[in-house]
Amino acid sequence: MERLIKRMFRDYYSKAFSLNESLVSPIERREFGVQFFDGLMQRHLSFAAGEELRSFLTSKVPKGVYYSSACYENPAAKEMELKGWVCADLSFDIDVDHIPTKCKQEHDWWRCKNCGYEGRGMSPPRCPICGSERMERHTWICDKCQHEAKEHLYRLVDDFLMGDLGLSPKQLIITFSGHRGYHVRVVSDEYSRLDPESRGLLIEYILGLGVKELVLEEVSGRRRYRAYPLDELGWRGRVARLLYEVISGYSVEELLEIGLSEDAARFIVRNRVGILRQLEARRPSWSFIKVIGRRNFESLVEEARFRGAAIIDERVTRDVKRLLRLPGSLHGSTGMMVKPLSYSELEGFNPMEMPSPFERFGDLCIKITSKRTYKVTVGGYKYDPASNPVGRPLKLPAPLAIYLLLKGHAEVVGDGDCT
């Protein structure tokens, strides 16, 4: 199987891949790293030009290709201290792995490598039974997850980067990650010089950490709330508007689901019009808090935060020496392309319909080896486990077959076995 996949990856890097150098500029200052199919990593690579990188990829055929968000005096130096860090583009990673989605119950599962305990949905950081961190995690891509990733991407880009930070679309390099997420790199000298602590403040902002303290102050041991008009700037207005959304749109059941008490939920729904009028006022009053109580209000605020925050991977944004997937390279666990997207392309982009570079290989003959495959669309080709029985040789379009092979749910069988 590895030989087949490597052959197809090589074919891609030699024929179809062309690096848009402006996306990694200045290329000679970036560190590159690759991960091979046997799992080994090679870091501290440096290339003077895109063509040089391409011939490297064609001859070595890695599973994943990465470049640094940082620029170095000497990117090929083996020791971090000798590299001469100059700056690092502010970068963001949105990955459904970090976003709670309901559909994960259907298609994601994990198993503890220590005690064998397993469960569905989002994987906990450690085994709930034995506490081990050695976890096997199985993820899947689906429409709902892709939709959710894009929702958070839009929040990050529209609300925070282009909205509050006033950046222009030209300053953003956006890529689909090749799996179930997106990367955004900000091209700005000012932001690229910030240290990790400064980036930490921005992370808090994008995650909305501290919104509770914004509306519920503690003054010398006594708690007070602060109301903000809907058109206020920053999180002040955002939290007011999102509270408005929650209060105007949620049913009693939905309010119960986010943690409100029965009484509080009923009170809000019954007095909805009056509460909303209070929120709309130029000098707003949130006196309904006094009726529903602080704890219920906190649940509302948390829900508002959840609707407004963009869930980003903190580590990626904080780390100024991190490697990111190279635009135009292939993702080694899906075979999908790490696709650069302009802001205007975003709306029409559907990763599952994205044409695959493996299209030209026609059908491949494989055998499903796992009972845990789910519906999926790759490169526009649909797969349904119901019509593809386990263990029988099947002809599947190459983009789909590669996805199933890389996810470890299938193996290659001889062409003669397929009918």
H or E segment and range at residue 328 = none
233 scored as a contact of another protein (CB under 8 A): yes
CB 190, min distance to another protein, A: 4
In angstroms, the first-to-last Cα distance of the chain is 20
Q: Count the Cβ atoms, other than its own, within 10 Å of residue 17.
A: 21
Stretch that binds another protein, among 31-39, 110-118, 207-215, 363-371 (CB under 8 A): 207-215
**At a CB cut-off of 8 Å and minimum separation 6, what does 7 contact?**
none
Q: Contacts with another protein: how many residues (CB under 8 A)?
A: 35
Structure tokens given for 191: 């932001």
Report, in Å, the least distance between residue 174 CB and another protein.
19
- If one asks whether residue 81 binds another protein (CB under 8 A), the answer comes out as no
User: Does 204 participate in binding another protein (rule CB under 8 A)?
Assistant: yes
Say how far apart CA 75 and CA 390 lie, in whole Å: 47
CB 186, min distance to another protein, A: 10
Of the pair 16, 80, the CB lying nearest another protein is at 80
Tokens of 119: 């469960």
Q: How far is CA 284 from each of CA 68, 237, 264, 280, rounded to the nearest angstrom?
A: 47, 11, 20, 6
Q: How far is the CB of 402 from another protein (least distance, A)?
A: 31
Candidate list 180, 236, 331, 409; residue touching another protein; CB under 8 A: 236
CA distance 149 to 94: 7
Q: Which of residues 237-296 bind another protein (CB under 8 A)?
A: 282-283
Using the CB atoms, write b or e for 170-206: b if 16+ within 10 Å.
Answer: ebbbbbbbbbbbbbbbbbbeebbebeeeebeebbebb
Stretch that binds another protein, among 9-17, 61-69, 204-212, 348-356 (CB under 8 A): 204-212
Smaller CB distance to another protein: residue 120 or 193? 193
Give the full edge-to-edge strand order of the sheet including 410-412.
393-397, 363-368, 410-412
Is residue 28 within the footprint of another protein (CB under 8 A)?
A: no
Judged by CB under 8 A, the stretch of 42-50, 201-209, 265-273, 348-356 that binds another protein is: 201-209
Task: Decide whether 229 or 340 has the Cβ nearer to another protein.
Answer: 229
Least spacing, CB of residue 44 vs another protein, in Å? 16
CB of 156 to another protein, least distance (A): 15
Indicate the helix (H) or strand (E) that contains 188. Answer: none
Shortest distance (Å) from residue 213 CB to another protein: 6
- Give the per-residue contact string, 104-143, with another protein (x = CB under 8 A; - = no): -----------------------------x----------
Sheet holding 32-35: strands in order across? 41-45, 32-35, 64-68, 323-325
Q: Which residue is listed with tokens 């509302």?
A: 300
210 binds another protein (CB under 8 A): yes
Q: Of these, 61, 65, 202, 341, which contacts another protein (CB under 8 A)?
A: 202
Using DSSP, state whether 374 is helix, strand or coil: coil
Binding mask 180-199 for another protein (x = CB under 8 A): --------x-xx-xxxxxxx
> Rounded to an integer, what distance in angstroms lies between the CA atom of residue 219 and that of residue 233?
23
* Cβ-contact 294, 223 below 8 angstroms: yes
Please, which residues have CB within 8 angstroms of residue 346's CB and are 6 or more apart in sequence?
A: 150, 153, 154, 157, 174
Residue 306 buriedness (CB in 10 A; 0-12 / 13-18 / 19+): middle
Q: Among residues 324 and 338, whose Cβ is nearest to another protein?
A: 324
Sketch the per residue contact string, 138 through 177, with another protein: x for CB under 8 A, - otherwise.
-------------------------xxxxx----------
Type and span of the H or E element at 113: none
Q: Which of 32, 110, 235, 288 binds another protein (CB under 8 A)?
A: 235
Least Å from the CB of residue 235 to another protein: 5
Q: In the complex, what is the shortest distance from the CB of residue 125 to another protein, in angstroms, rounded to a whole number? A: 9
Q: Return residues touching another protein (CB under 8 A).
A: 133, 163-167, 188, 190-191, 193-202, 204-205, 208-211, 213-214, 232-236, 282-283, 318
